[in-house]
A and B are shown apart, each in its own frame.
Chain A
Amino acid sequence: MRPQPKIELNDVRKSFGDLEVIKGVNLSVHRGELVCLIGSSGSGKSTLLRCLNLLEPIDEGEILLDGYDISHPMLDPQPIRQRIGLVFQSFNLFPHMNAFENVMLAPRLNKKISRAVLTPKIEALFERFELKDRMTHYPDQLSGGQQQRVAIVRAMAMEPEIMLFDEITSALDPELVSEVLDVVRQLKSEGMTLVLATHEMNFARDAADKVCFLDKGVIVEEGTPDQIFQNPSEPRTRAFLRSVL
């Protein structure tokens, strides 16, 4: 008997108008696991993450966090989002605030903690992710890799229980990808529960506990990286891997 999953999706469906982009997805992620969602653009990876963070309300099914349905339409999504961090492909830092203010904003407003109490905590967070010397920089003074790392720190400042990463390296120059992926590895080693939508197949193979291949809004195949990359059973998975590897 396995422990209760940290997060569990049961037959989740989501449409935009007539277009059904998530067509009944079942997925469970356990505490401390790193799950990679792979699949071509438009397969529904990003939408699935946005649904998990309740940025998009789902049409059918349920999303369980520690066994509780967080997708219930009568729930206020705001406090739930605070427990689930989301990092975007395009960083989405607030350009009018420096890195430190970007990170401090959400805990200060949501938890109503004073600046004085927060400041040492947030400094420690920057220290932990080796960004201490970039705290007073504005987003346009940072490299793409640094911006994305600040975005991760910003999400971490809310002390989430799960972190979702939506193709966080896709907008980066190739030489900046590894510094961001190193942060993801660091989070995993610290025990964070992580779900990544990614095109970084090598990273998925090396670091993931579970890999899910999505195509046209369904999880076609899931398994350990070895199963998926060495021995895929579905023809669609094989075709996809052939095209990207």
Chain B
Amino acid sequence: MSRNTTDKTGIVAAQAALPAKISRTAYNAQKKRRSLMIASASTLTVVALIYVLVPLAPGWERVKNSFFNWEVLVRTFPKLLDAFLIDVMIFAWCAPAIAIWGLVIALCRDARSPALFPLRVFATVYNDVFRGVPVILVIYLIGFGIPGLGLSRTWSNPYIWGSLALILSYSAYVAEVYRAGIESIHESQRSAAKSLGLSHWHTMRHVILPQAIRRVVPANMNNFISLQKDVALVSFIGPVELLRQAGVEKSLLANFTPYVGAAIIFLSVTIPATRFADHLIARQNRERG
């Protein structure tokens, strides 16, 4: 009776029911094996269900033929890859421009002196506008609007204006990431730099920015991964890059498989890049933890 009243949580009774002695490592290994088995079994079940159930849908044969047609894929894939080079090219010149212009905007937003107030207003309005308007709309407005001014032939090139639109849009996002990085640097670093007699600009350039930019590399990676696929939007004003090429092939062959091919190509770049960004974030968390 007295035992019952002291054992309110039932721990004494529970302990009595346990086997006498067990190796902890053996027990943990056993637990790990068990979780692995459960995970594999549930994954297999889901895959099997999809494999069995989807073909039961009434339109499956039609979908399979027009979206997952092996011959069409093999025939169009080399051309898609060629077209993808254009995406890579546009990305290659936009990315550094965005990294730089985004930094300029971030610095303008951070300007403290009253003489630079107009810059601050400009950067704030800039960010509001370009983060608030869909990228595709910016591409249309700039891509059709500026050449409409009647520029010479060399300047009415959709590559130039499409790229400019991407740069303007993405810089707004990248600037916000930089700004978060700048604000994450502890005030004591500024104090230390100031106490040594460094100017505001020197403090920014040599003390704050190097730390801030490093800190936001993973976050910015995500921006550049989504830029990587948004490059395809430039096709809406002309350039025949991957998405547009897939559209052409689709029309020629009356088959949607080229779109799936295009998706595969984009994924083959974005998935490794995303994993790499995750890896960087995890490493940073470990270092800071």
**B-contacting residues of A (Cβ < 8 Å)?**
50, 53, 55, 78-82, 85-86, 88, 90, 92-96, 105-106, 109-110, 154-155, 158
- Chain B: CB-nearest residue to A80: B197
Q: List 9 A-B contacts (CB under 8 A).
A: A78-B199, A81-B194, A81-B197, A82-B196, A88-B195, A90-B188, A92-B192, A109-B198, A110-B197
A80 to B211, CA, bound (A): 27
**Is B188 a contact partner of A92 (Cβ separation < 8 A)?**
yes
Interface residue ranges of B263-286 to A (CB < 8 Å): none
**Is A106 a contact partner of B196 (Cβ separation < 8 A)?**
yes
- Chain A: CB-nearest residue to B201: A109
A158 to B194, CA, bound (A): 13
Shortest beta-carbon distance from A113 to chain B in Å: 14
A contact residues around B195 at 8 Å (CB): 53, 55, 81, 85-86, 88, 155
A contact residues around B211 at 8 Å (CB): 94-96
B contact residues around A80 at 8 Å (CB): 197
Most buried by A among B194, B195, B210: B195
Instruction: Given A105-B206, A109-B202, check contact A94 B197 (CB 8 Å).
Output: no
A22 to B210, CA, bound (A): 36
Interface residue ranges of B175-189 to A (CB < 8 Å): 188-189
A88 to B210, CA, bound (A): 22
Known A85-B195, A93-B192; 8 more pairs at CB < 8 Å: A55-B191, A78-B199, A82-B196, A86-B195, A88-B188, A94-B207, A105-B206, A155-B196
Shortest beta-carbon distance from B42 to chain A in Å: 43
- Chain A: CB-nearest residue to B208: A94
Shortest beta-carbon distance from A121 to chain B in Å: 16
Shortest beta-carbon distance from A79 to chain B in Å: 7
**Is B197 a contact partner of A82 (Cβ separation < 8 A)?**
yes
B214 contacts the other chain (CB 8 A): yes
**Is B189 a contact partner of A92 (Cβ separation < 8 A)?**
yes
A99 to B210, CA, bound (A): 16
A96 to B193, CA, bound (A): 13
Q: Which of A82, A94, A96 contacts B192 (CB 8 A)?
A: A94
Most buried by A among B196, B199, B210, B214: B196
B contact residues around A92 at 8 Å (CB): 188-189, 191-192
Shortest beta-carbon distance from A170 to chain B in Å: 14
B contact residues around A96 at 8 Å (CB): 210-211, 214
**Is B188 a contact partner of A78 (Cβ separation < 8 A)?**
no
A158 to B195, CA, bound (A): 11
A contact residues around B206 at 8 Å (CB): 94, 105, 109
Shortest beta-carbon distance from A141 to chain B in Å: 13
Shortest beta-carbon distance from A203 to chain B in Å: 22
A79 to B197, CA, bound (A): 6
Q: Which of A88, A93, A155 contacts B191 (CB 8 A)?
A: A88
Shortest beta-carbon distance from A91 to chain B in Å: 8
- Chain A: CB-nearest residue to B191: A55
Shortest beta-carbon distance from A11 to chain B in Å: 24
Shortest beta-carbon distance from A78 to chain B in Å: 5
- Chain A: CB-nearest residue to B195: A86
Shortest beta-carbon distance from A50 to chain B in Å: 8
A contact residues around B198 at 8 Å (CB): 78, 105-106, 109-110
B contact residues around A78 at 8 Å (CB): 197-199
Q: Which of A50, A90, A95, A105 contacts B196 (CB 8 A)?
A: A105
Shortest beta-carbon distance from B138 to chain A in Å: 35
A contact residues around B188 at 8 Å (CB): 88, 90, 92
- Chain B: CB-nearest residue to A81: B197
Shortest beta-carbon distance from A90 to chain B in Å: 6
Shortest beta-carbon distance from A7 to chain B in Å: 16
Shortest beta-carbon distance from A92 to chain B in Å: 4
- Chain A: CB-nearest residue to B186: A92
Shortest beta-carbon distance from A151 to chain B in Å: 8
**Is B196 a contact partner of A94 (Cβ separation < 8 A)?**
no
A contact residues around B207 at 8 Å (CB): 94, 105
B contact residues around A93 at 8 Å (CB): 192
The 4 A-B residue pairs whose C-beta atoms are closest, nearest first, are A82-B197, A92-B192, A106-B196, A86-B195
Instruction: Given A94-B207, A96-B210, A109-B202, check contact A81 B192 (CB 8 Å).
Output: no
A25 to B193, CA, bound (A): 27
0 or 1 for each of B10-33: is its CB under 8 Å from A? (1 = yes): 000000000000000000000000
- Chain A: CB-nearest residue to B196: A106
